[in-house]
């Protein structure tokens, strides 16, 4: 018979038959953590029901181009924790994917110019993709996205063309990349959904994220890197709503050869 004392053991044991070891471990440790939480806090039936209703609202707000579930993970620091746990020694650290990555960006020639009709300060992001020993990775690819001068991503701003300020590109034979774009702006995480109303706002926390570029950098035989680059002049670096800032990801714009403010960042990928 089930009792308060043996329930957790019984549920963990019920997953013993999951054939795949990693899946079994994840399910059993999830049960252990959830039960530990409910036991420690004395979670009430009303609180449990409210949490389920909250998750329903989070699901109702999520779709292919906007994931309120990802946002929930971000504001709880879980996304950052996963990135840091998975960061490879000697490689560029990871940082949050965020809710605005959409797969399948258009391939641009390298150097890429994304400015088009965007207002804002023209800047350049450039550098090299390297292995952890500093050797160039000429087969690297970069998936890039950022917000527009009004702080918004195209998915939430009907005034922007679809796919504004995002691209994929291939590094050159020295692993080099160069993207001409506009300086991204500090940005508020979405404040129109349950994550804001039920989690972030009641804590008196800020909605601001410091300005950033997003990149996914990949090369054959190497761990993929999902990361962000921040602007050292940004006033929100210390209070990022989603805990994404790492020292190694803060860059500085300096005048480039062509006069454009240029942020130079090399990415290091670890061998898989
Ligand atoms: C972003 O980078 O745009 C973002 C990341 C996490 C939550 C919300 C927005
Ligand atoms: Fe972002």
Domain with residue 129: its CATH number is 2.60.130.10
Report the 10 Å Cβ neighbour count for 5: 7
Q: How many whole angstroms from 163 Cα to the centroid of ligand 1?
A: 17
Four-residue CA torsion sign, 201, 206, 207, 213:
negative
Whether residue 32 is contained in a domain is answered as yes
Clarify whether residues 146 and 251 are in a common domain: yes
Q: Cis ω on the peptide bond leading into residue 97 (within 30° of 0)?
A: no
For residue range 139-188, list pLDDT tens digits in order: 999 999 999 999 999 988 999 999 999 999 999 999 999 999 999 999 99
Averaged pLDDT score across all residues of the chain? 96
Q: Please indicate, yes or no, whether residues 230 and 265 belong to a single structural domain of this protein.
A: yes
**At residue 13, does pLDDT exceed 80?**
yes
Task: Tell me what percent of the residues of the chain surpass a pLDDT of 90.
Answer: 93
Question: Is residue 69 one of the residues assigned to a domain?
Answer: no
The pLDDT value recorded for residue 45 is 98
Q: How confident is the model at residue 67 (pLDDT cuts 50, 70, 90)?
A: confident
- For the stretch 208-243, pLDDT in tens is 999 999 999 999 999 999 999 999 999 999 999 999
Identify whether 36 is part of a domain: yes
What are residue 75's phi and psi, to 5 degrees? -75, -20
Task: Identify the band that residue 192 occupies on the pLDDT scale cut at 50, 70 and 90.
Answer: very high
Tell me which of 64, 90, 112 is where a domain ends: 64
pLDDT tens digits, 68-77 = 999 999 999 9
Range of the structural domain that residue 44 is part of: 7-64
Q: Give me ligand 2 centre to Cα 232, in Å.
A: 16
- Classify residue 150: in a domain, yes or no: yes
DSSP string, the chain: ---TTTHHHHHHHHTTT-SSHHHHHHHHHHHHHHHHHHHHHT--HHHHHHHHHHHHHHHHT-BTTB-HHHHHHHHTTHHHHHHHHHPPTTSPPP----TT--S-PPB--SSEE--TT--S-EEEEEEEEEETTS-B-TT-EEEEE---TTS--GGG-TTSPTTTTEEEEE--TTSEEEEEEE----EEPP-SSHHIIIIIGGGT---EE--EEEEEEE-TTB--EEEEEEETT-TTGGG-TT----GGGEE-EEE-TTSSEEEE--EEE-B-
Ligand 1 lining (C-beta closer than 6 Å): 71, 74, 96, 98-100, 187, 189, 209, 242
Same domain, 79 and 144: yes
Q: What is the pLDDT of residue 221?
A: 97
Give the whole-angstrom CA distance, residue 114 versus residue 184. Answer: 12
* Ligand 1 atom closest to 71 (CA): 7
Q: Report how far ligand 2's centroid is from the alpha carbon of 59 (Å).
A: 21
Residues 109 and 156 both lie in one domain: yes
* 98 Cα–ligand 1 center, Å: 4
Residue 226 sits at the vertex; the CA angle it makes with 272 and 238, to the nearest 5 degrees, is: 130
> Do 83 and 158 sit in the same domain of this protein?
yes
% pLDDT > 70, the chain: 100
User: Taking residues 66-88, what's their average pLDDT?
Assistant: 93
Residue 99 makes CB contacts below 8 A (sequence gap 6+) with: 66, 67, 68, 70, 71, 74, 190
Residues in a beta bridge with 129: 267
Residues 45, 121, single domain; the answer is: no
- Judge whether residue 102 has pLDDT over 90: no
Q: Do 59 and 79 sit in the same domain of this protein?
A: no
Q: What's the confidence (pLDDT) of residue 156? A: 87
What is the total count of domains within the chain?
2
Q: 65 pLDDT exceeds 80?
A: no
- Tell me the C-alpha distance between 99 and 102, whole Å: 9
17 with 87, same domain: the answer is no
pLDDT, residue 237, reads: 98
- The closest-lying atom of ligand 1 relative to the alpha carbon of residue 147 is 3
Give domain status of residue 1, yes or no. no
Give the pLDDT confidence score for residue 28 in this predicted structure. Answer: 98
């Amino acid at each position: 018979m089930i009792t308060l004392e043996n329930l957790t053991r019984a549920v963990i044991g019920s997953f013993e038959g999951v054939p795949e070891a990693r899946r079994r471990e994840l399910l059993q440790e999830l049960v252990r953590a959830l039960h530990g939480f409910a036991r420690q806090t004395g979670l009430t039936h009303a609180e449990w029901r409210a949490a389920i209703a909250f998750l329903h609202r989070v699901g109702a707000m999520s779709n292919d181009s906007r994931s309120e579930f990802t946002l929930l993970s971000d504001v709880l620091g879980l996304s950052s924790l996963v990135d840091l746990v998975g960061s490879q020694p000697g490689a560029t650290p990871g940082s949050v994917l965020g809710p605005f990555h959409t797969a399948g960006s258009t391939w641009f020639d390298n150097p890429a110019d994304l400015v088009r009709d965007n207002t804002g300060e023209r800047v350049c992001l450039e550098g090299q993709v390297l292995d952890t020993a500093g050797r160039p990775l000429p087969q690297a690819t970069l998936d890039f996205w950022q917000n527009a001068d009004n702080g918004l991503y195209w998915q939430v701003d009907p005034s922007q063309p679809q796919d504004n300020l995002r691209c994929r590109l291939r590094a050159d034979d020295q692993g080099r990349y160069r993207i001409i774009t506009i300086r991204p702006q500090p940005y508020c995480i979405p404040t129109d959904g349950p994550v804001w109303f039920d989690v972030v706002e009641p804590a008196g926390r800020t909605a601001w994220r410091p300005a950033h570029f997003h990149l996914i950098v990949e090369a054959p035989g190497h761990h993929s890197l999902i990361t962000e680059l921040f602007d050292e002049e940004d006033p929100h670096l210390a209070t990022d709503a989603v805990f994404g800032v790492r020292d190694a990801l803060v860059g500085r714009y300096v005048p480039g050869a062509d006069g454009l403010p240029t942020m130079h960042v090399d990415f290091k990928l670890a061998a898989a």
